[in-house]
Amino acid sequence: MKIEQTTDLAACLALRRTVFIEEQGVPEDREIDGLDDSALHLLATHDGQPIGSARILLDGETGKIGRVCVLPQARGTGLGAALIRASLDVLRVQPGITRAKLGAQTHALGFYEKLGFTAYGPVYDDAGIPHRDMTRDL
Protein backbone atom coordinates (compact mmCIF):
# COMPACT_ATOMS: atom_id res chain seq x y z
CA MET A 1 0.00 0.00 0.00
CA LYS A 2 1.34 3.41 -0.98
CA ILE A 3 0.04 6.94 -0.29
CA GLU A 4 1.38 9.84 -2.31
CA GLN A 5 0.45 13.38 -3.22
CA THR A 6 -1.02 13.23 -6.72
CA THR A 7 -2.19 15.30 -9.66
CA ASP A 8 -4.35 12.38 -10.86
CA LEU A 9 -7.62 14.10 -10.02
CA ALA A 10 -9.58 11.65 -12.21
CA ALA A 11 -8.56 8.72 -9.98
CA CYS A 12 -9.51 10.64 -6.82
CA LEU A 13 -12.87 11.68 -8.28
CA ALA A 14 -13.63 8.10 -9.34
CA LEU A 15 -13.00 6.89 -5.77
CA ARG A 16 -15.13 9.67 -4.33
CA ARG A 17 -17.94 8.88 -6.78
CA THR A 18 -17.94 5.25 -5.65
CA VAL A 19 -17.91 6.01 -1.92
CA PHE A 20 -19.81 9.28 -1.54
CA ILE A 21 -22.25 9.41 -4.46
CA GLU A 22 -22.99 5.73 -5.09
CA GLU A 23 -22.56 4.24 -1.60
CA GLN A 24 -23.55 7.11 0.70
CA GLY A 25 -26.03 8.88 -1.58
CA VAL A 26 -24.38 12.30 -1.56
CA PRO A 27 -25.77 14.40 -4.42
CA GLU A 28 -23.22 14.86 -7.20
CA ASP A 29 -23.49 18.65 -7.08
CA ARG A 30 -22.51 18.54 -3.38
CA GLU A 31 -19.60 16.16 -3.94
CA ILE A 32 -18.17 18.05 -6.94
CA ASP A 33 -17.92 21.49 -5.34
CA GLY A 34 -15.48 23.35 -7.61
CA LEU A 35 -12.66 23.39 -5.04
CA ASP A 36 -10.59 20.49 -6.40
CA ASP A 37 -8.42 22.61 -8.71
CA SER A 38 -7.10 24.62 -5.74
CA ALA A 39 -6.64 21.61 -3.45
CA LEU A 40 -3.84 19.18 -2.70
CA HIS A 41 -4.78 15.54 -3.27
CA LEU A 42 -3.51 12.28 -1.80
CA LEU A 43 -4.02 8.95 -3.52
CA ALA A 44 -3.62 5.54 -1.89
CA THR A 45 -2.87 2.60 -4.15
CA HIS A 46 -2.40 -1.13 -3.71
CA ASP A 47 -0.62 -3.00 -6.49
CA GLY A 48 -1.04 0.12 -8.63
CA GLN A 49 -4.83 0.27 -8.16
CA PRO A 50 -6.46 3.31 -6.48
CA ILE A 51 -8.10 2.33 -3.17
CA GLY A 52 -8.43 5.61 -1.26
CA SER A 53 -7.96 9.35 -1.39
CA ALA A 54 -8.07 12.58 0.59
CA ARG A 55 -8.24 16.27 -0.27
CA ILE A 56 -6.55 19.17 1.51
CA LEU A 57 -7.63 22.81 1.25
CA LEU A 58 -5.39 25.57 2.62
CA ASP A 59 -7.08 28.56 4.27
CA GLY A 60 -4.94 31.00 6.24
CA GLU A 61 -3.23 29.05 9.03
CA THR A 62 -5.59 26.08 8.65
CA GLY A 63 -5.43 23.03 6.45
CA LYS A 64 -8.84 21.43 5.94
CA ILE A 65 -8.72 17.69 5.37
CA GLY A 66 -11.74 16.40 3.53
CA ARG A 67 -13.18 13.96 1.01
CA VAL A 68 -11.37 11.13 2.80
CA CYS A 69 -12.57 7.89 1.27
CA VAL A 70 -11.55 4.23 1.25
CA LEU A 71 -13.06 1.59 -1.02
CA PRO A 72 -15.05 -1.09 0.85
CA GLN A 73 -12.50 -3.84 0.16
CA ALA A 74 -9.73 -1.76 1.79
CA ARG A 75 -11.64 -0.83 4.95
CA GLY A 76 -10.44 -2.19 8.25
CA THR A 77 -6.84 -2.20 7.05
CA GLY A 78 -5.71 1.04 8.71
CA LEU A 79 -5.80 2.90 5.40
CA GLY A 80 -8.16 5.62 6.66
CA ALA A 81 -5.83 6.45 9.56
CA ALA A 82 -2.83 6.31 7.21
CA LEU A 83 -4.55 8.82 4.88
CA ILE A 84 -5.13 11.19 7.80
CA ARG A 85 -1.52 10.84 9.02
CA ALA A 86 -0.25 11.44 5.47
CA SER A 87 -2.50 14.52 5.21
CA LEU A 88 -1.07 15.85 8.48
CA ASP A 89 2.46 15.26 7.14
CA VAL A 90 1.63 17.28 4.02
CA LEU A 91 0.18 20.09 6.15
CA ARG A 92 3.25 20.23 8.41
CA VAL A 93 5.47 21.25 5.47
CA GLN A 94 3.10 23.96 4.17
CA PRO A 95 4.36 27.46 5.09
CA GLY A 96 2.21 29.15 7.75
CA ILE A 97 -0.13 26.20 8.39
CA THR A 98 -0.45 25.57 12.14
CA ARG A 99 -3.59 23.48 12.52
CA ALA A 100 -5.71 20.89 10.77
CA LYS A 101 -9.50 20.90 10.58
CA LEU A 102 -12.05 18.44 9.26
CA GLY A 103 -15.77 17.78 9.22
CA ALA A 104 -16.28 14.30 10.64
CA GLN A 105 -19.31 12.12 10.15
CA THR A 106 -20.55 11.68 13.72
CA HIS A 107 -20.10 7.90 13.66
CA ALA A 108 -16.37 8.51 13.02
CA LEU A 109 -15.69 10.97 15.87
CA GLY A 110 -13.84 8.34 17.92
CA PHE A 111 -11.67 7.43 14.93
CA TYR A 112 -10.50 11.04 14.55
CA GLU A 113 -10.10 11.53 18.32
CA LYS A 114 -7.55 8.69 18.29
CA LEU A 115 -5.65 10.69 15.67
CA GLY A 116 -5.48 13.74 17.94
CA PHE A 117 -8.52 15.70 16.78
CA THR A 118 -10.97 17.39 19.17
CA ALA A 119 -14.62 18.00 18.28
CA TYR A 120 -16.13 21.46 18.68
CA GLY A 121 -19.39 23.17 17.85
CA PRO A 122 -22.77 21.62 17.16
CA VAL A 123 -23.70 18.64 15.03
CA TYR A 124 -24.74 19.77 11.54
CA ASP A 125 -26.19 18.18 8.43
CA ASP A 126 -23.94 17.80 5.40
CA ALA A 127 -25.64 16.10 2.42
CA GLY A 128 -28.06 14.33 4.78
CA ILE A 129 -25.27 12.95 7.00
CA PRO A 130 -24.69 14.28 10.55
CA HIS A 131 -21.24 15.84 10.96
CA ARG A 132 -19.24 17.69 13.57
CA ASP A 133 -16.19 19.89 13.07
CA MET A 134 -12.89 18.77 14.58
CA THR A 135 -9.47 20.38 14.85
CA ARG A 136 -5.94 19.67 16.03
CA ASP A 137 -2.70 21.59 16.22
CA LEU A 138 0.15 20.47 14.03
Q: Where are the domains of the chain?
A: 2-99
Angle ∠(39,58,130) on CA atoms, nearest 5: 85
The CA-atom distances, in angstroms, between 118 and each of 61, 74, 96, 103, 129 are 17, 26, 21, 11, 19
- Please give the pLDDT value at position 109: 97
Name the band, by pLDDT with cuts 50, 70 and 90, for residue 41: very high
- Please give the pLDDT value at position 14: 98
What's the distance, Cα to Cα, between the start and end of the chain in Å? 25
Kindly state the average pLDDT of the residues 5-27.
96
| Domain 2-99 indexed as CATH 3.30.70.1110 | no
- Please give the pLDDT value at position 67: 96
Name the band, by pLDDT with cuts 50, 70 and 90, for residue 138: very high
pLDDT tens across 80-132, in order? 999 999 999 999 999 999 999 999 999 999 999 999 999 999 999 998 899 99
Spatial distance between the Cα atoms of 70 and 24, rounded to a whole number of angstroms: 12
Task: Tell me the whole-structure pTM to 2 decimals.
Answer: 0.95
- Please give the pLDDT value at position 57: 98
Taken in order 31, 14, 44, 4, the sign of the CA dihedral is negative
